[in-house]
Structure 1
Amino acid sequence: MRIPWIPIENERIARRHAHSIALAAYFRDRYENDGVSWRFAGEFFSPGSDGQDSPASQVRTFLTPVPERVDAAIRQVVPESIASAIGIDDGSWVERLCDLLAIAEHEMRNDLDTYRELIEQAKEANNLGLGARLQRTLKTIESRQLLGYLANKNILPKYGFPVDTVELRTTHCEGDVGASLELSRDLSQAIYDYAPGNQVVAGGKLWTSRGLQKLPKRELVELKYRTCVACQQFQCGTELDVEEVCPSCQQPFGKIRRFVVPEFGFVADRKVEDVKPEPPERRWGGSSYVENLGDISDPFPWQSTGGVEVQARAGTRARMVVVSDGGGAGFQLCGRCGWAAPLDRKSSKSAHKHPVTDKSCEGSTRIVSLAHRYETDIAEFSFGAIAYDNDAVGRWLSVLYALLEGASEALEISRDDIDGTLSWTPDGRRSLVLFDTVPAGAGAAKRIAENLGKVIQFAVDRVTRCDCGEETSCYGCLRSFRNERHHDKLSRQGALSIFAELKVEATPEVVDGPWGETLAYTSQSVIELLLKLSKRGVQKPELGVDLGQHYWPVEAVWMKPGVVLVEGYDEERDSGLASDGYTVVKVEDTDIDQLAPLLPAG
């Protein structure tokens, strides 16, 4: 795996940086000339009291024409190779920026209008409690940090300010350790790791999440959602039509549930425990869903050797939803203090204690899930005439995770930077959606779509060479921490059955591995080098062992000449092995003609 990288010639990243330069100049100009500034999204996207256009709408006026200092600053940052592609030369980038601002303003004002209408309805129904809660939610939406909101809408880059990060607060807990801890996660991961009832180890202590952080006069955004019983199509909104059927399969939706977005973070239990011999308690329940495919590109068709056409489409600004439901039933959440707990048979609706003050709280609880909504890049794949039915979910999930692992290996993309889910095409066919987990997307999904043939071949090789039973799977082929909830459905056999319909077979080197070995946990570059050595008649080494005083993991070792083969760059490992008397050979730097003579013949 290559070192972490950011492709500076990525058009979407370059465009967002151009936007940041333009908006910084706009903010500075308005402050210096008009004495105005904006901290919150609500005020930036709302018209003035005198009927004047919103500050966001006035960006177009500022950039018509583009001030020379802004144009010069952008050209200094954006690579020349893509300046024309994003419209720097002809000024068309301004139109794109203004379009994105208009969309963001529409969404903001629509949210504000919706909640104002709901507040009026609550007043007319004399439901003052609901009205007060909706009023606090309205305040939350209006008070969102402007830079964070613009980044969430893919207008500004996120790399400088991780706006979706939330904290598990421990400063109020017993002892001195909590005050010095900073436990934070991206919100899409925090809704699982910090879900109420889950435990984490930090600072030598065991911390239990006990609820959601509450802020004065602010309320968490809450929406209704549901999924199709048959195909898992996802819908969410402030209101949902109970009579509507799934548009993909015409089957009824499941029951309507509610989720909240815990954007203020989580609160740990005041009681701190010592670390125990058994693993921390954790519940993983929920899934990722495609709410909207966003702006879809023209398809990248790929014809398999079996004649099945695979359509790959790349999408930008796709809306994803990650839902954590605590194992299925959801969480009890107190609307007053934020106390929360997973709902199960042992759950009690009796009085609970405030998670911060530890005082008894008589607030009422409601059942909710936790969610995070965000926009990113996606790649959608649909497989021609290959049939789908509800009994085939396991097969398609297996193919999905095979493709993710294949993409990671083939294109050297960190597996943590991509993930996937099942979805549906507009014409009702089952599809696989792979998406960037990098904030706002970095183009990884598009690269996967453009290199589909290579990705599929690596996926087939991976599931073929693994030595676990075909009826199951393991962490060497399909499983990962992220897909733990699907482990019982994933199998090499399921993935291989669909690859067989595509008539894609593993490369001969994978079927007949080096020295007849099946190397399940070895990268393709190492396998290829070992295959070349085996064909040269080199003696079979010890594979995948730990060596030296500090038990350094190596790919292979020939003990008699003392030659070790390693992958990646690790100065401490390499110097340690050298001091133990080994000759260290890096896979990335080696030449087969120079290496083979150093090794014993078989």
Structure 2
Amino acid sequence: MVGALTEVIVRLERRLSWALEQIRRLNGLREKQGDLEPEDDALFRRCDTLVKRLKGTAKRTRREAEGYDDVNTFGVLAAEGFLPGYGLEVGSVLGTAEIPFWRTGAMSFTLPRPPSIALREYVPGNLIYANGNRFVSRRFHRDIDEERSEMSVFEVSHERQAVKETNLGVAPAALGAVVLPTIAVCDVDLVHQSHISDEEELRFQMGVAVYGLERDQHNGGRAYRWGGQTLHHRRGVHLRMVNVGASIAIDRFERFGYPVCRVCGQSVSPLSSDRQREHFEETHQERCGKPIVPVGFYADVTADVLSLPACPDQTTAYSVLEALRFAAARVLDMHLDDLQLLIIGHVDRDEVDALLWDPMPGGSGLLDQICERFEEITAVAQEIVENCPAACEKSCIDCLQTFRNGYYHKYLDRTAAQERLAAWGTHLTASHEIPAKQPSKTPEEGTHPVNEAERRLRHLLLAAGFEEGIRGRQIRLDRAIGTTTPDVIYRAPHHDEDEGVCIYLDGLSRHLHGNAATAEQDQRIRSWLRNNGYEVIEIAVSDLEDEGAMTRHFRRLAGYLNAGDLREALRKDASWFRREREANTERGRFVLRLVRPRPQDRFTNCAPLMPLKVAAGYFGEPQTVGEEEWDLDWVEVDTGRRLRKGMFVAQVVGKSMEPAIPDGAYCLFGSPVEGTRQGRTVVVLLRDKADPETGQRFTVKRYESEKAVSEDGTWRHVRVLLKPINRDFEPIELTCEDEGTVDVVAEMLEVLG
């Protein structure tokens, strides 16, 4: 209960900070130009009223007699969902509707929405129907902290309906993908559009494209087998849903995102005319000083989930889950909207994960009931898709279509659902427990520990019971100091995005070399961090071999993270230190397990083993290797990724790619290399050169290129760098004259051991 109250207080404080910041900005603007534009003046009055209400000095008028008392503490807590508020709509995202003074009735009212609903409704261009009037979302209240930090950026593949987190300036990996900055869904001012007319027969709902991804965190659950399909029931799954734009704008014009000013929060519809968008961009460039860049919206949701992983396509995923949802609404005491669908695509493959999720905080128990009465529900689902009253070809309003699921009508196919339901049957068999998963993401390429001491620290942290932590993340300080990149950053649930625990290895951090020239700068950086919400732990390299010193450091870390049980366990038991040392001697011993798979079993859990020389020849010059050599050896591959034809296992010899690829490591490779090669670790066949390290005509390096556009509009390579990770080795540089002398034959996907 204390946590829930704290969450409400933080939410109210965020709104107050936004209002005060806008008042300060508008006061400065008033002093500069004498008066305010009408829309800025309306914003000032809106913020002033919000501050007075949160302070408790505002008085309610007679026209505001209905609704909850937002000046009274208990009324506010009820409206925010902390206390029972019978008859109230609740939600953490507020839409404040303003009605012109010449209209009778309430001057303003609020429409709370959960983040997942606000993500679709509270966007520029959509119409909101309330109290006999129509409203549009116009002014967005971005959090003060979010305005000061970098926006979340996603790679968007519209073809596969998928998003992947990335960084600005990084070229998208998938063909046809775009990079889109986003802001968190936030409170919004709803501007009056018109009175609802009797002539309007149908309500307008703008179609939006919402894609999703899982955030590698859940509270565990149970796995089942449904015929030949895996089914997972997990609790507390952390999801991120991203609204990438209006469906019509994307389909017709390939225009992603929404025109939103990042300074004042004003917006315009993505479906407005070119002239209107140009006017909006020009005026806000002049008034706010920043160009208008289309942005998306995202919302983070934690929910119980019933999922069908690795579905072949969207049609199967939507059709089967919608049939189950309709059947559950008939069998169980639930409304159709009590459960929602989310189909998660992947930018690098056609498979999708189908999720049926429970929007009620803490879960309503409906998913448990579906698992308990699965045979009954699947039988009803089969009846729904088999016996459409209209005998439609794919789907219609008599079987699977509703107003609310209009944005995926084109994927609903009752015949496809009927085939899958018949193939998978009605029986659900328990398979195994799914352990809870915390956000322990493996460091991405480029964020690995860069030397032996950092690798040792990482293994010690994991052995002691800590999660992976964040590596390679740059923290922006003030302008005088610049930036810093700690060796590891940890954040607990009570930390905000600009807080946490920074760990430095003295003398070995990327930017901190421990010499006299940088000692003063090091001290300034760490003092700034301590004074701005961060804790700092400094570990000398010599401490890595000292059991007592590392125990003290890690107990401090556990204390900063409020992990009391772990802190006490570290005090009582130091066996983790000895286990890690023993494991360190075993680490790197990778045993190849040869298998003889049947032809139909290949690339399920095994891949061919071949020397890189043979692989480079096979994929670069097919005529040099016979088909029989492909079948020499197959090895078992323990990986979480789906294997496919073109993947193989090979040993990498040499130290140029250490520490990411140790000398002699066996790696999983994939060919061909799809999409951009920029920044990827690849196998390159050199026709006229040799790798200086090995003397071979093939090499494993990170690919970087510089391109130039010709007069005819085409582009060509100006320079290609094949870069090692180990700084003791020089890159291989190729110019435009060498472009035809190299072949990129495969990509390094994973180090197996």
TM-score (norm 2): 0.40
Larger strand proportion of the pair = 2
Structure showing greater Rg: 2
Higher RCO (C-alpha under 8 Å, 6+ residues apart): 1
